[in-house]
Amino acid sequence: MSGNILEICRKNYARAIELDRQSVPGQEKRWDKYRVTLNKVIESVKNERDAIFKAQYKTFDSRRPIGTLSKIFRCDVIRYPGRLLKIFIPEILIIYLYERVLKHSFPHFSKKIDDFSDVSVSWKETLLRVKGGRILSNVLFWHAYHILACASYINDRKIKSVCEIGGGYGNIARLWFENTVVDIDTYLIIDIPESLFFADVFLRSTLKDVEVVYINSVDDIDKANDAKKVVYLCPIYLHELTSSLKFDVITNTESIPEMGDDWIHFWKDWLSSQNAPYFYSHNFAISKEPFMPAREEFISPLVPPNGKRVSLR
């Protein structure tokens, strides 16, 4: 990883937190606590790998270490597990169970699921390296699920550009570029600056052939249009700039229960102003986050007036 990645990401973050916030709903006390907590985590980051670890350890991910051996050696020492090892280490068994469930859910993508892989810069104790150099983790197939769901419902898998509302530390974005199911050119994450900092670090560290552009103005979008493949990171306070781009699908996973009713209406109006034929939402009625109290959202997300449900599960 480049030594100046962290410096670049800190500068981007510093600019973003100074933006005018009047165009978005109030942050609420629960969001203020979340932002303050993440800011403290950002200030404590020592290097790129430390930032990725802090993002994946109880912040954005539900990663689980792989048994006692991994905890002792603090690296992905468990390689090429046999049947006995799966029995004695349930954390390994659950990884293979997730893979089996994913193949059962998307049998038409069964062979291509074998191409999904985690990355070596991820939290080492959660990684399982198998034959062929592929790296597995308990969250890999959960993140892959969203890509396969979009590819299954969008005609002919014609997906070249994706926008994600609330992208966490960027692992789903990485997988959209590093899979054999779809071949996208453009990805945009719109989120609060505290989350975008971790996505900025992670994506610059893992996507070597993709340009990462942190949006400060519409000029940043215009300048990056010549790039073959690009990831845009857009602070929520500049949400009006995304309407200048065309997306094949807009996605949101697991963050609706974190929002208040005013934000639900905000996103409905925002979706109505975007140039995108599909909206994919995978959410729960209730979700418990480590830095904020849980809340129930039984009727969200709200679908724009011109929206039509393709599938509801």
Instruction: State mean pLDDT over 149-175.
Output: 93
Give the separation between CA 67 and CA 90, rounded to whole angstroms.
Answer: 8
The count of other CB atoms within 10 Å of the CB of residue 121 is: 17
Instruction: State mean pLDDT over 54-77.
Output: 72
From residue 257, give the alpha-carbon distance in Å to each of 55, 143, 163, 171.
20, 18, 19, 20
pLDDT tens-digit series, residues 132-159: 889 999 999 999 999 999 999 887 778 9
What pTM value is reported for the model? 0.88
CA 206-235-119 angle, to 5 degrees, is 15
The whole-chain average pLDDT of the chain stands at 85
Question: Residue 1: pLDDT band by 50, 70, 90 thresholds?
Answer: low
Give the separation between CA 212 and CA 235, rounded to whole angstroms.
Answer: 14
What pLDDT is recorded for position 251?
95
Give the separation between CA 62 and CA 257, rounded to whole angstroms.
Answer: 16
Question: Residue 54: pLDDT band by 50, 70, 90 thresholds?
Answer: very high
What are phi and psi for residue 237, nearest 5 degrees? -70, -10
More confident residue, 24 or 5: 5
E strand intervals along 124-204: 128-129, 135-136, 161-165, 186-191
In the chain, the percentage of residues whose pLDDT exceeds 70 is: 79
What pLDDT is recorded for position 156?
75
pLDDT tens-digit series, residues 192-208: 999 999 999 999 999 99
Residue ranges per domain, the chain?
Answer: 5-33+156-296, 67-138
Residue 170 pLDDT exceeds 50: yes
pLDDT tens-digit series, residues 279-298: 998 876 555 555 445 554 54
**Rounded to the nearest 10 degrees, how much is the dihedral formed by the CA atoms of 244, 250, 254, 258?**
30
What are phi and psi for residue 110, nearest 5 degrees? -55, -45
CATH of domain 5-33+156-296: 3.40.50
Can you tell me whether residue 253 is helix, strand or coil? strand
Closest CA to 67 of 81, 55, 54: 81
